[in-house]
Structure 1
Amino acid sequence: MVLLIGMGIVLYSDVHLEQKMIRRIAIANVLMFLYSISCYAETYLGNQTEYTLLRPILSAFNYSLITFILVTVIMIMFPNQKRYLFFPAVMNTVLCFISVPTKIVFFISEDNHFFRGTLGYLPYFINALYLLYFIISLFRNSRSQKEDFRLILYISLTTIMCLILPLFASDSTSHWFNMTIAVNVMLYYVFLLQKSTKHDPLTNLLNRQSYYTDAERYSNDITAVVAMDMNGLKEINDREGHIAGDTALQVLADCFWKAAHHGQRVYRIGGDEYMILCIDTTEDEVLSLIERIRQELAKTPYTCSIGYAMKTEDSTIDKLYQLADAMLYKDKKQFYESTGKDRRKRK
């Protein structure tokens, strides 16, 4: 309850996340709040000697809420989901409430003991499907850096643990799920806030501050720096407007990200300037990276100038940046000379 109320207060004053995301986290909070009340009420009735009809109704409600909480968590972490994702949760809810008179999923005996029916493990099966979908989505949405995956994997593993343990020790672990999900949602909210400070909002690449941080963090492991700068952005902005310019920047960012392999971290430094820090990367691998970038760009109506620099014994990150930028400048000059276009003033 402390976590849920605290999250509610924080969400009310949040100015960083999109309203859609805030609403989804708020919905998860409400569902967990309802589950807390219902779960403790059902536990209280389960400790009584006499059977009451309210207990199976609460059990059906709890089984339903657990599934909807999982769906909501998936919608929070992977926002671009279709509404049919809710279909198994709705089916589970219908069967659980039908079970109150039919005993098909579970039933409460006259001496107030809980038993599973013919479809007794159906809620766990549906929850397992959602968790499998969660893990698949985790690896399909692969733009995140590896440190982002660590937290999401931790969240998924602890959720799986709290769904499995009640099958073997229901008396001592029945309340773990709600507490774990509440903590995990709080952790993910903090992660989203942290991510908003590390990533460029337009392209979702790492931002300039992340470049400075990583340049210091990986200073001993960086072997090359690649600099990219879009050609003709000012012309696009003047002719088609800044929305078209933003679209072009997003397309370029997507090309850079697709071309980058493990250990090649992509940043938007500002405007139409991008950088890639190459960790433990040979010159042949850097040249392959540049070739992949050009291949991705060839699929678009846009071009960019590229420069790179390899680390030597006495070179610093700043020196590498200057060398890569100098090569980029030559590439850009050659582009404008070969196309006959007016070269924009370079800052």
Structure 2
Amino acid sequence: MMGLSYFWIDGGTYLGFIVCITLLMFILIMRSFDLKLRRKFTRVAMAMIIALAAGALELGLLAKGDTSTLIYAALLLKYILEGYMEIAVIRIVGRDYKKIQSKLLWIPFIVISILICTAPVNPSVFYFDSTLGLFVRGSLGYSIFIEAGFYLLVGLCICVKKWFTGYQRDALIILFMLAVVSTGVLLEEAYIFDNCTLTSSSIGVLFVYVYMYAERYNVDSVSMCYKRRCFYSDAAKYAKQEMAIISMDLNDLKYINDNYGHQAGDVALLTFAEVCRSVKTNKFILYRTGGDEFMILGIKSSQKEAENLISIIKEKLKETPYTCSFGLHMYKPGEDFEEAVVKADKAMYDDKHIYKSNKNKQANKRDDRFDEKVQSFSNDIDFFDEGE
């Protein structure tokens, strides 16, 4: 029977276990997350615990000079679980992008896993020198770094995508996690710390989990825009700078909810938010401040830039069944911000009055066209299945 003496548990490995157990405790206690997202984090945490145990067993057996099949099994299990964690975490942080949820993303993991499983009969992957008690990586053994590099590149692409669509904080958190894990890989491969890859990964994943849990209080779950509290918080933060305040109201949302159901209304809200994110620059921050109400703060933006953004959003909305009323006010430092918002809202209501007047003049024609567009429109949004 195998005892604990076969496991080599140093300070770093112990820290990894503690971090993973802490993550599991957070998942168990903080139950406000979507169930599927919690399950994904749970699977990652369990995979890390098993991989840490496998790594500790491999180091313990190697220290005893045991190069039997068991040491190969332990290291293979560790490598396979590390690969699984790479893709699982990438799918979590990229859960808003359908391409990241594609099953094709599993191909590198599957191919590399099959390749390294040949190690017991293929020394070109890796082998253990029983005489010197050393692990020796063959040329094919470096394939695990190709796999890691591929998922690192995917993670960087997610960072870039989030950065240029207004989620700079998300991008920085993901970049931090990638940097922590990459540093762990380098330290382990340089034989500075054992099991450092897994320990670093556990810290990075815990950091992402806590950030995502905290951020859900700031981000609207339907439109993925920042909430009303963030609007006023950012306004106070940039109060000494000129800002464009763009007030927006999605037209006919009540009509959509009443006639097509609230899921269709959710599709309308998210589609509008996606349109805004797809055309705005980083100096414009998007918020959902009410049921059908959105706001944009243009930090240090000119009136011409704000008007140009409104025109582009209107043009882009023509590709959808939806329309929106807009109001713009240019805030100056020292001006009462609440009054500035009221002025932007008044301009928006004036625009909505014009919209309703035109709509009433050709009500039947407008409704027929709208019904036809809504019934045929799809932006492939699925709110209830984040992908397994």
TM-score past 0.5 threshold: yes
Q: Point out where structure 1 has 5 or more consecutive residues left out of the alignment.
A: 343-347
Q: Report the alpha carbon displacement of residue 144 of structure 1 after superposing the two structures with TM.
A: 4.9
Which of residues 234, 237, 242 is equivalent to 1:217? 237
The count of residues paired between Structure 1 and Structure 2 equals 340
Query: In the alignment, what sits opposite 2:175?
Result: 153
1:195-214 correspondence runs (5 A): 195-214=215-234
Residue 128 (1) aligns with residue 128 (2): no
* Correspondences of 1:103-118 after superposition (within 5 Å): 103-111=123-131, 112-118=133-139
How far residue 236 of structure 1 moved from its aligned partner, in angstroms, is: 2.6
Aligned-partner SS, 1:299 = coil
1:59 has 2:75 as partner: yes
Q: TM-score, normalised by structure 1?
A: 0.92
Asked if the contact 1:224/1:320 (under 8 Å) is kept, the reply is no
State how far apart, in whole Å, the 1-side matches of 2:47 and 2:348 are: 53
Offset of residue 281 of structure 1: 0.3
Q: Which amino acid aligns with 2:23?
A: M
Letter in 1 for 2:161: R
Pick aligned residue for 2:46 from 30, 33, 40: 30
Q: Counterparts of 1:116-195 in structure 2 under 5 Å?
A: 116-141=137-162, 142-167=164-189, 169-170=190-191, 172-195=192-215
Q: CA 1:315–1:118 in 2, change beyond 3 Å: closer, same or farther?
A: closer
Report 1:260-275 matches (<5 A).
260-275=280-295
Q: Secondary structure at the match of 2:117?
A: helix
Task: Tell me how far 1:314 sits from its aligned partner.
Answer: 4.2
Residue of structure 1 aligned with 2:252, choices 232, 241, 245? 232
Shift of 1:86: 2.1
Stretches of structure 2 that go unaligned for 5 or more consecutive residues are: 1-16, 364-388
Structure 2 CA distance for partners of 1:45 and 1:178, relative to 1, 3 Å: same
Residues 60 and 100, structure 1, Cα contact 8 Å, conserved in 2: no
- C-alpha contact (below 8 Å) 2:166/2:282 kept by paired residues: no
2:104 is the counterpart of 1:84: yes
Q: What TM-score do the two structures reach when normalised by structure 2? A: 0.82
Moved more, 321-330 or 157-166: 157-166
Indicate the SS of the match to 1:225: strand
CA deviation profile, 1:88-131 (whole Å, cap 9, x unmatched): 22222222221112212011123122212241312122211221
| Partner amino acid, structure 1, of 2:278 | K
Tell me, in whole angstroms, the C-alpha distance in 2 between the residues paired with 1:60 and 1:255.
Answer: 46
The answer to whether the Cα contact below 8 Å between 2:165 and 2:282 also exists between their aligned partners in 1 is no
Q: Deviations over 1:210-244 (max 9, x none)?
A: 11211112212242201011222223333333332
The whole-number CA distance in structure 1 between the counterparts of 2:156 and 2:49 is 26
When the two chains are superposed, the root-mean-square deviation of aligned CA atoms in Å is: 1.9
Q: Alignment identity in percent?
A: 26
240-249 vs 40-49, which moves further: 240-249
Asked if the contact 2:317–2:323 (Cα under 8 Å) also holds between the matched residues in 1, the reply is yes
- Alpha-carbon shift at residue 313 of structure 1 (Å): 5.0
Q: Distance in 2 between matches of 1:329 and 1:65?
A: 56
Q: Distance in 2 between matches of 1:313 and 1:23?
A: 47
Corresponding residue SS for 2:245? strand
Mark the CA change 1:307 to 1:161 in structure 2 (over 3 Å): closer, same or farther.
same
Change in 2 beyond 3 A, CA 1:15/1:264: same
